[in-house]
Amino acid sequence: MTSAAPPAPASRIRWRRGRVTATGRSWRDALELTAEVAGEGELRALAYPSLVGVPEVGDDVLLNTTALAQGLGTGGYALVVAVPDRLPPDPEGPGHLVKARYTPLQVMVQGVDEQETEHHATIADAEDLGGMPVVVADLHSALPAVLIGMLATDPDLKVAYVMTDGGALPAAFSRTVGALKSSLAGVVTVGQAYGGDLEAVTLHTGLLAARHVLGADLAIVTQGPGNLGTGTPWGFSGVAAGEACNAVSVLGGVPVGALRISDADPRPRHRGVSHHSLTAFGRVALGGVTLVAPRGLSSELGGQVDEDLASQPERNTVVWLDTDGLDTALGLSPVPLSTMGRGYPEERAYFLAAAAAGRYAALQVPVDPETVLAAAETEGTAPGE
C-alpha cells in the first residue's frame, strides 16, 4: 500500500521577481535600488553586494518581500536575494566561520577567534577586559547617543561597537554604523551577525577582541537595527541586554546600562523606564549593572523614573548623572537621532539617558599611571619637582 506524500510545508517567504529600474545611495556593504514588479509597481529594494553582487539597471532580481508586505518597522525594503543572470564570482577570502547558518544566504567569514587568523593567539591568551567599561543598550538607536556622551566627555577615547544578533544580522544594514565609522575604533559582529571590521563567534570573544585587538578604552553593545517585541514580559529581543551585562561581568569589565526612558511613547509599558530595561537589567543581569539616570528631566518624568528604579535589586547601582552640555552635543549629532519613528527632541529623555550612560562610562575608564606621569612631565609638574 502506497502512502500519500506528506503535504508541502507552508511557504515562509513572499517571493517576487523584479527588474532594476534605478540604483540609489550606497553605504558600507549596502546598495539601495528600485525594482519594477509586475502587478505591484516599483518597490524600494536593498542589496548586499558582498552576498549577491552589484545589481545594475536592467538586471532581473529575485526579491524577498515578506517583511515589506507586512509593513513591519524594519521591513521598509524588498531584499535582493539573487541576480540570477549575473552571479557574483566565487569567494576567495580566508575564514571558515559560517554565519546566518543553514539559511539560503549563509555567509563565510574569518573570525577573530579562529585558528587561522593572526589574532587567534591574542584571543586565546586574553583572560579579561581589564576593567573596561561597557555600555549595554536595548535598542540600536541608542548607539549614536551613547557614543556622543562618551566622546563629549573625552574625545580621545577609543570606542568599539559590538553588534549582537538580536536585530538585523548584516552590519551593513545600519546607515548609522556607516556614518559613525570615523568615530569608532571598529565594529565587531558577534553570534549570527556579520559584516563588522572583526567577526567573532560569541559576545565574549567579541568583547575581548574590542579590548585586546582594537585597543578600545570603552565598548558599546547593542543589537543591530530592528527590535522584535511581542508585548509580553519576556518576548522581546532586548532580553539579551541582560545577558550582555553578564558577559561583561564574567570577563572583568564594568557593565553600564543605558536605560530606555520615554514620555513620548504611547504604550504604557514603555513610559517612564521601559519594562524592557527593568526586565533585562533587573532580572537577567545577575552580576549587577550600574544604571544611569539623567538629571534634567521634567519633574514628572524624573519622579516616574525614580519610582520605576526603586525596585531594582541591591546588586544594581542607580546613579543620577549631571547632563550639562549633552543636549548641545546631541543636537550636533552626525547622524539623525530616531527611535520608534520619533526623533530628538521629541524623544529627548531616551537620547539623554543614552548619552548620560556614555558619559558615566567614559568617567570610569581606568587611568594609565604612565600616561598621567607623561602628561605631568610635559606640564612640568611631575612628582618631586
**Which regions of 11-169 does DSSP assign to beta strands (E)?**
15-27, 30-37, 41-47, 60-64, 78-82, 97-99, 107-109, 133-137, 159-164
Q: String of b and e for 137-163 (b: at least 16 CB within 10 Å)?
A: bbbbbbbbbbbbbbbbbeeebbbbbbb
Least confident segment among 61-65, 98-102, 137-141, 257-261 = 98-102
Residue with cell string 574625545: 155
Residues 199-208: tens digit of each pLDDT: 999 999 999 9
The one-letter code for the residue type at 169 is L
Q: How confident is the model at residue 73 (pLDDT cuts 50, 70, 90)?
A: low
Q: What burial class does residue 263 get, using C-beta atoms within 10 Å of its C-beta: 0-12 exposed, 13-18 middle, 19+ buried?
A: middle
Residue 224: closest CA among 135, 112, 143, 336: 143
What contacts 109, CB < 8 A, 6 or more positions away?
95, 97, 99, 194, 199
**Mean residue pLDDT across the chain:** 92
- Looking at residues 219-234, what average pLDDT do you find? 93
pLDDT of amino acid 317? 98
Whether 2 has a pLDDT exceeding 70, the answer reads: no
In terms of residues, how long is the chain? 385
The CA dihedral of 25, 68, 180, 120, to the nearest 10 degrees, is -110
pLDDT of amino acid 374? 58
Whether 358 has a pLDDT exceeding 80, the answer reads: yes
pLDDT of amino acid 75? 61
Residues 148-177: tens digit of each pLDDT: 999 999 999 999 999 999 999 999 999 999
Cell of 273: 523606564
pLDDT of amino acid 161? 98
Residue with cell string 586565546: 124
- Looking at residues 263-287, what average pLDDT do you find? 92
- Looking at residues 28-35, what average pLDDT do you find? 96
Whether 15 has a pLDDT exceeding 90, the answer reads: yes
List helix spans (H) across 154-269: 175-180, 203-212, 240-250
pLDDT above 90 coverage of the chain, percent:
81
Whether 379 has a pLDDT exceeding 70, the answer reads: no
Whether 285 has a pLDDT exceeding 90, the answer reads: yes
Residue 243: closest CA among 275, 273, 202: 202
pLDDT of amino acid 367? 78
